Amino acid sequence: MPDVLGIWNDPGDVAEAVTRLRGRGYTDLETYSPAPFTEVDDAAIEKPSRVRLFTLIGGLTGVVTGYAMTIWMANDWQIMLGGKPFSSIPPYTIIAFELTILFGGLMTLIGLLVFGRLPSTKIDPAYSARFSAEEFGVRVRCRERDVAEVEALMRGHHAKEVSLVGA
Amino acid sequence: MFLACLLVALAGGAVGLAALLPDRADADETLVAASVCEAHELRARQAEDPSLQIQIPPEFDSPWPTRAACLSHAAAMDESTPGPIQPIQFSHKHHAGLYQIDCQYCHSGTDRSPVAGVPSVELCMGCHKQFPPTYDELEGIRTLKDHWKLQTPVEWVQIHRLPEYVQFQHQAHVRKGIACQSCHGKVEEMDKVYLVPDTKWWPWLLPTQKLEMGWCIQCHRANGASQDCVTCHY
Amino acid sequence: MAELDRRDFLKLVSVSAGGAAAAGCSDHVEKLIPYVVQPEEIIPGKAIQYASTCLECPAACGLHVRTREGRPIKLEGNPEHPVNRGALCALGQASIGRTYHPDRYAKPRLRGAGGAYEEIGWDKATALLAEKLGAAGGRVRALTGELGPTLGSLFDRFLAAAGSSGGRLHYEPFGYEALREASRAVFGAGVRPIFDLEGADFVIDFGADSLETWLSPVEHARQIESAREVTSAEGREARLIYVGPRLSMTAGNADEWLPAKPGSEGILALAIARVAFDAVRSAGRPVGGDPGLLEGILAGFDAESVASRSGVPAETILRIGRAIAQAKRPAALPPGVALTSRRATATTAAVLILDAVVGAIGTTVLLPAEAAAAPEPASFREILKLVDAMASGQVAVLMLGGVNPVHSLPPGAGFADALAKVDFVVSFASLPDETSERAHLILPDHTPLESWGDAAPQPGVRSLVQPSVRPLFDTQALGDSLLQVGRAMGDSVAAQLPAGSFRSLVEAAWSGTDFRAALIRGGVFEAAPRGGALPVAASAARIEFKLPQFEEAGPYLVLPVPSPLLHDGRGANLSWLQETPDPVTKVAWQSWAEISHETAKALGVERGDVVAVETGFGRLELPALPRGGIRDEVIAIAIGQGHTVGHYASHDAEGRAGEARGVNVIALLPPLTDESGGRAWLTARAKVTATGAHARIAQLQFTDNQRKRQLAESVSLAALAAGDGAAHGEAHGGEHGSHEIRRPYDPVNDAVPESPYRWGMAIDLDRCTGCSACVVACSIENNVPQVGEEWVLRGRQMPWIRIERYLGDGEADLENGRRRPEDREKLGDVDVRHSPMMCQHCGAAPCEPVCPVLATYHTPEGLNGMIYNRCIGTRYCSNNCPYKVRRFNFFDYQIESWPEPMRLMLNPDVTVRGQGVMEKCTYCVQRIETARQDAKNAGHPIADGAITPACVQTCPTHALQFGNLKDPQSGVNQRIEGNPKRAYHALHVLNTRPGSTYLAKVSRGAEPEEGGHS
Amino acid sequence: MTPPPAESVAAMIRPVPRAPDSKVNRDLLAVMEGASLGYWALLGLSVAFVGLAGGIWIYQVYKGLGIAGYIHPVFWGAYIVTFVFWVGIAHAGTLISAILFLFRAKWRNAINRSAEAMTVIAVLTAAQFLGIHVGRIWKSYFILPYPNQRGLWVNFKSPLLWDTFAITTYATTSIVFLYVGLIPDLAIARDRAVGWRKLLYSVLSLGWQGTSRQWKSHNRSVLHLSGLATPLVLSVHSVVSWDFAVSIVPGWHATIFAPYFVAGAIFSGFAMVLTMMIPVRRIYGLEGYITNYHFENMSRFILLTSIIVAYAYGAEYFMAWYSGVESEQTAFYRRAFGPYWISTWTMILCNGVFPQLLWFKKLRTNVPFLFVLSVLINIGMWFERYVIIITGLSSEYDPAAWGIYTPSWYELGIVAGSFAFFAHLFLIFLKIFPVVAIAEVKEIAIHERSHAHAGEH
């Protein structure tokens, strides 16, 4: 099936075009933008990213590890220090806190990689260096006979160029 | 483990002695012993193979040194077995094992002092000067007697060594009835003493080797002994 | 001690090599080297003690030499010995270092043609000396130190046999010849009196350094301080008054200090005597002599006239006179070295007359029978005679043993030049010094730890010297050298000498006694009276009491002060004594000139500015140390430094050998004697000028102002006497008492409940004199490195105890000590607090929680444990220690600090710390563990007193006590409970719950009846 | 609809024309290209200093810490001072990236990248001092709670353990933060680079294409990381301050320390950003992106934090006086008028007084002035730590054990080396990574453009 690629300069137009295209049932589409534009991204995918889940898990693991490790280690071999209790929570809270941040941060990175499909070895043929300049692109995969309609839709939303990629 | 080393020792001893023997060119030649130890060896061979013709010169026809002594002596200088070669081919197996001499007879003070102590040349000679001169064919015995004659000390190689920041108390352990073997291994079965490897495992699946701190601590924990740091470190 | 001879030292060395070996060499092959023949009394790993005698000074304290595998590792006092009763001074503690000293002569040495020494064999050396003696034709003289009866008499017999004319002179730099001559003049008895201060309730010290170097300092310190024990009513009555121009260590421990004009002590004593005389008479008590005679002597010395001449107010004289007259066991002590002027005999006589008037003769001041008296050193006049003889070539062979006259005689005496005129000089020194280095032949003697011998310091005390180690080097006992030389000189001489070895000679000399018992006890001690009383003789009337003359070269009177640590300089080559700061000025490794602030202003110098001190006899340059506690016209310089020979005595800050360390004040003094031929020290006035140069002073204490922080407290008698209802807080007395001493916490709970022990210490500031013996004892027991002047200057000293010296409660004001160390001393103010500061073993120790790796922690028995091999050296524990008692190994001190063969004296029970780890006082945990094992083996709990840390063991005044705080009956608890008003914890406000409890110093008034004044 | 005629479709098939690159890319990527002689000289110099310091450090490990100027009882010195200094510097980066991000302060975009880079480099620099100042570095692994044959753990009650964890976390998180932000820019570089750079950026950019999915996760990650980094940045310097605050040392033991140190850290961090960015902007002609408006905003922050710091100074003295605790009072009196008065007054002038000039807009926008001021502030902040640490230790509770510390030349050499270390890493960073966040700059640029465009309609 051919890939139709439209090129825009304005994120607003892209957003409309994408909404329209998806409304027409062209759900197999991909957008390329030089910078994050929520209007475009939300038009393409409604659901918010699930990275948040990873962060949460990471954080919780951290806090549990923090307290568990400190308290267990202090009691595995009890050593008196300045007459302080073996399981003294306030100092251990600091450790727990730091681990929360540490694990949360790492899990967030992993989340980014998972949901951003990264790292990916192959570059989409539709992608080009102009999208890392200041232009926007929308690639729609459609049946041969729908190509014209897609093109029309794109041009209708001020696409400055429309082309077929890797037919 | 220990059996293996015992066999090695025996074999080593046998080999060592066999090497001394004139090799048998043809069957009907009689083998002549050149030492008491050889005599023991020849008798042993003849027991296996009665056809063997042996001749024991009268000066070598003596029970002393015993065959066990000969074998232990040979095993104690066998480099193929673990453990360093000591200046004297002294066999704990022979003394503590075969003759059942109590550890503290030689390592006296072990129950009164932090250190076990190594017997003086005088103590060795106490017994050995009573032994028949035929023993002198053993190199170890000759070395010992030289030291006694020249009044020079024997420089033994230390095997069970703790770092100097560890203050170990032999007396405490001996008096509590901890067997010497639990740290030193079954020395009464060794011709040549060596550090018997021993590994204990922490619950978190980490090994700790013999004479390492964790190794001591596990025993201390098991026996409810002190886990206070200054018990050993000061 | 037959075993001793069979003990082969070198074989022992490596037995415990493991213990003493440098850290971090655990993987190389270690050899186990047992004995060839194991002496039956030796159990490897167990310490053995041999009783012997300390020969550092004529006091001759009893020793217990603690040995491990045949190596002495520590000296401790012999508890049975009547002189020191188990204690030792700093010098005695450090003297173990002589045996292992890197400087030691390993073989006999002969000076070659070029002046360089070559090592020769004993046979050759003996033959050579024999030949020289034979050729000398009687022109043989000997100059020796105190040798003890047996060796002394052998030496004399030898000289007689060798046909010596004049024989041997016994030379003691601190000879106190005036004592003997004065008692001859006053009592007609030519013996040196013995001062027995046991229970003395009123001691007035006319410049005798009775707590430092004078006669028998350990004994006197014990007697004086135990007489002043405040738990007893008599103790509270007892007083110590010091007369002298400078706030010395002794003065600092007195209840009153009279900074009289130096030289006026004699007339002051007479003035006091006169007041006392009237009081005693009116009380109808005897006055120790013919009243008429005494009245005549005292006639000219009324309080008013003396007051103007001595600078002591008349009312003070009257007050003291009345007080001493009322005292039950008074004692007046004549001047020590610093104040022996050219009128020393008269001054001493005056003090003895005071003693006689108040009835001290026969009670505290004993006159022994001539026969029983200890051997007296030759008078200075005789020494000078010998020098003349040498200079005029009348001496062919001079034998030197145990003396260093080149250093200790004034250059004006010309000893060095005279020595050059002697054909053949032989020295028996075992360590090189300025004198032995000038000898032609050196026959190295054993050190006392290697020798046989004996001493008779007092009537009834026969003290034995026995070897505790096989000689380290190819040396020979002096006695044996003499015997062999004698035999080499031919039968005629040999016939006059005893047969056998010197050891057999000693045994023969002791044949009358149970020798075995003597070997075990350390001697024979009889409780017989050491001396009696005599009335003042008519000859006393002929003494003329005048103020002494001085060699005028300037306005400042040179006060040569015996160093409490280095003594006359014999201690200078022992690193511990160099690195332990002077108890008064806290200066280590250096010489300094004490001047008053007024003088400093007049000279325009500040602390550390180098001044030139010039008398008609010499010129010295040294840094000035202005202080309040010294009279304006006096410049005080400690005796003992200024050596040019010796590993520790001579190296300068940069470590260059052969450079003099500090200055030798004796170089300023003229070779003058007092009226009766005794040596005079206080003889010259000097011109002092600023040189413009500046030197860094290695002063280890920043300030003596404790800023009212609860560090070294004091309590007035009045407050102590107040009823039990008095709150702890009120117990603080004196006008300083603006804050309260807080009751100590109960530290018992700072050990785990199951533990039967909570170790703790009591530190009695009222008994601590600041003598610093504990510092040296601790350093030797615990292998504490001595880092040297260069690093002390940079604050890297390592001692686990320091003696802090504070004046009064201090001021909290901020201006003081802002930039440079401050000094709060004032003339006449004696509120000096000596406070030993070591790890307090806190229950709530601030150092413990901050260590990231658990290297320091709290043991179940309440100790503050320090695990060297776990320490990574973050040094946070030290930052967080309010007492600042932790020391850090900035370098690997093992090599520099213990040059061969000194490493042989390392204590194998204590880990030698490597580079980069923290260390601190452990309450001598190794002794605790040893005691624990012994108790276990014996099957009973650790008994009270079974553990004595090194500092506690050596304290001459028993100021320290260690024990189990959980045991209410333990000595330490009794001590604390017995002094409820004095007990406190240092820096109480920080709530560190220390295990060490201090007992506040007691500020007594000058007079028994009034209290609360300080 | 009817299918289009085939030829039209055929006509459509033509290669996509190579689009002209955007100005933003060219300007900002230009920074990474080529290197002037000056650059190499600077780099060489800093590397040389790093080498020197390394040599000193090896000698110190061999000989012992004694070569430093420590004197009983001052057992912490220039090393810890410099450690705290660098941790402080590290704070601006995270603050600008994270907190300003959360507050949607768009002006941060131009400077956040360099600030983040600074953070990472500064933390790495700081972390080394933990190792440099311990007595037995070869045993310093004892501080890690790793399972070992001894069965012995570590003391989590010790502030030094807190430090270890805080610094590790901070380093890791900042690196993650920096990297996540870099990915799109690396893709931009990838699309334009050739040779080894092409390879490098292809690997590092993980095949980023700027699809919606990627941008969505990216935005979310940045948001979360900011959310995590904000409390982290506050915690790290609080923890560092507790090294002192939880001890009993007079002059250290104060509750104000945490906020005091955090403010000080931001203060010094911003100053360091200015010190670094003013020359960079000048040399690479980035005036269009890093405008005076940015500098002015940073000056405002500096002014604010300077006031907080100055207040803290005052508060310390007030508390010392008001507490009536003599040891505190003495410590603070000696701090101002004792042996260390020079350091103290340097600190007060540089951190408390000079920054007040920023009240004037003229000076806020005067770049040379800002540069000088920022350098002064850095000096002042180093002395602040010096004053706190050294004066605190030099006169504690026991007057008999007071001591006066002066750093030795060895110490100063290592301190200098740490600045060189920081500099050489930053220089290398300049040439490898985009020093301004290109994508974020574009985001704004394109928005403006499209609004303008919308205006035309």
Write the ipTM: 0.91
Q: Does B230 touch chain C (CB under 8 A)?
A: yes
Nearest CA-CA distance, residue B198 and chain D, Å: 13
Nearest CA-CA distance, residue D210 and chain C, Å: 47
Q: Does D78 touch chain A (CB under 8 A)?
A: no
Of C23, C36, C43, the CB nearest to B109: C43
Q: Does C490 touch chain A (CB under 8 A)?
A: no
How many contacts, defined by CB atoms under 8 Å, are there between A and D?
Answer: 238
Nearest CA-CA distance, residue C986 and chain D, Å: 10
Q: Does D239 touch chain A (CB under 8 A)?
A: yes
Residues of D in contact with B215 (CB under 8 A): 149
Letter string b/e over residues C386-424, b meaning 16 or more CB atoms within 10 A of that residue's CB: bbebbbeeebbbbbbbbbbbbbbbbbbbbbbebbebbeb
Nearest Cα to Cα of residue D186 among D172, D168, D159, D207: D207
What are the residues whose beta carbons fall under 8 Å from the beta carbon of C245, sequence distance 6 or more? C259, C260, C261, C262, C557, C559, C630, C631, C634, C636
Contact C822, C704 (CB under 8 A): yes
pLDDT band at D453 (very low <50, low <70, confident <90, very high): low
Nearest CA-CA distance, residue C236 and chain D, Å: 30
Of C752, C844, C860, the CB nearest to A82: C844
- For the four alpha carbons of C167, C467, C524 and C364, in that order, the dihedral sign comes to positive
Probe site for chain C from A73, A78, A79, A80 (most C CB atoms < 10 A): A80
Letter string b/e over residues C458-490, b meaning 16 or more CB atoms within 10 A of that residue's CB: bbbbbbbbbbbbbbbbebbbbbbbbbbbbbbbe
Residues of D in contact with A144 (CB under 8 A): 3, 9
pLDDT in tens, C238-264: 999 999 999 999 999 999 999 999 999
Q: Does C19 touch chain B (CB under 8 A)?
A: yes
Residues of D in contact with C795 (CB under 8 A): 70-72, 403
pLDDT in tens, A41-96: 988 888 888 899 999 999 999 999 999 999 999 999 999 999 899 999 999 999 99
- Rg over alpha carbons for chain B, rounded to the nearest Å, is 22
Probe site for chain A from C752, C755, C858, C866 (most A CB atoms < 10 A): C858
CB neighbours of residue D179 within 10 Å: 17
Probe site for chain B from D150, D152, D153 (most B CB atoms < 10 A): D150
pLDDT given at position A130 = 86
Nearest CA-CA distance, residue D75 and chain C, Å: 6
Residues of C in contact with D61 (CB under 8 A): none
Q: Does C282 touch chain B (CB under 8 A)?
A: no
- For the four alpha carbons of D346, D347, D353 and D358, in that order, the dihedral sign comes to positive
Of C705, C854, C874, the CB nearest to D134: C874
CB contact under 8 A, D151 and A76: yes
**Segments in chain C below pLDDT 50:** 1-27, 724-727, 731, 733-738, 1008-1014
- For the four alpha carbons of C213, C214, C219 and C224, in that order, the dihedral sign comes to negative
Q: How is residue D350 annotated by DSSP?
A: I
Which contiguous run of DSSP H or E holds residue C243? strand C239-243
Residues of D in contact with C705 (CB under 8 A): 399
pLDDT in tens, B20-57: 555 544 556 788 888 999 999 999 998 888 888 888 88
pLDDT given at position C1006 = 63
Q: Does B197 touch chain D (CB under 8 A)?
A: no
A contact set with C (CB within 8 A)? 79-84
How is C137-160 classified by DSSP, letter by letter?
A: TT-EEEEE----HHHHHHHHHHHH
Of C706, C852, C916, the CB nearest to D136: C916
Nearest CA-CA distance, residue C942 and chain D, Å: 30
Alpha helices in C939-1001 (DSSP H): 950-954, 971-977
Q: Does D20 touch chain A (CB under 8 A)?
A: yes
Residues of B in contact with C26 (CB under 8 A): 161, 163-164
Distance CA C932, CA C376 (A): 47
Distance CA D130, CA D121 (A): 15
Nearest CA-CA distance, residue D148 and chain B, Å: 7
Stretch 832-871 of chain C: residues touching chain B, C-beta under 8 Å? 857, 859-861, 863, 865, 867-870
Contact D43, D424 (CB under 8 A): yes
pLDDT given at position C816 = 58
pLDDT given at position D96 = 81
Residues of B in contact with D150 (CB under 8 A): 208, 212-214, 217
pLDDT in tens, D55-110: 999 999 999 999 999 999 999 999 999 999 999 999 888 888 888 888 877 777 77
Going by DSSP bridges, is the β-strand pair C619-627/C593-596 parallel, antiparallel, or unpaired?
Answer: parallel
Of B204, B209, B218, the CB nearest to D147: B204
Q: Does C853 touch chain A (CB under 8 A)?
A: no
- For the four alpha carbons of A65, A67, A70 and A73, in that order, the dihedral sign comes to negative
Nearest CA-CA distance, residue C850 and chain A, Å: 9
- Rg over alpha carbons for chain A, rounded to the nearest Å, is 25
Q: Does C926 touch chain B (CB under 8 A)?
A: yes
CB contact under 8 A, A98 and D166: yes
What are the residues whose beta carbons fall under 8 Å from the beta carbon of C759, sequence distance 6 or more? C841, C861, C862, C863, C923, C928, C947, C962, C963, C964, C965, C995
Q: Does D125 touch chain C (CB under 8 A)?
A: no
Nearest CA-CA distance, residue B208 and chain D, Å: 5
Distance CA A13, CA C687 (A): 103
CB contact under 8 A, C703 and D65: no
Which contiguous run of DSSP H or E holds residue C558? strand C556-562
Residue A125 has pLDDT above 90, yes or no: no
Structure-block tokens of residue B85: 């070669």
Structure-block tokens of residue D353: 């007084």
CB contact under 8 A, D398 and C817: no
Of C26, C33, C909, the CB nearest to B155: C33
CB contact under 8 A, C795 and D71: yes
Probe site for chain D from A5, A60, A112 (most D CB atoms < 10 A): A112
D contact set with B (CB within 8 A)? 147-152
pLDDT given at position C12 = 37
Q: How many Cα atoms occupy the beta-carbon half-sphere of B74 within 13 Å?
A: 24
CB contact under 8 A, B153 and C36: yes
Nearest CA-CA distance, residue B214 and chain D, Å: 4
Phi-psi region of C46 (alpha: psi -120 to 50; beta: other; left: phi over 0): beta
Q: Taking residues D292-316, report their average pLDDT.
A: 94
Contact C43, B112 (CB under 8 A): yes
pLDDT in tens, D137-160: 999 999 999 999 999 999 999 999
CB contact under 8 A, A82 and C752: no
> Crossing angle of helices C303-310/C314-326, nearest 10°?
120
Nearest CA-CA distance, residue C927 and chain D, Å: 26
Going by DSSP bridges, is the β-strand pair A29-32/A136-141 parallel, antiparallel, or unpaired?
Answer: antiparallel
Q: Does C929 touch chain B (CB under 8 A)?
A: yes
Distance CA C919, CA C865 (A): 10
Number of H helices, E strands in chain C: 33, 38
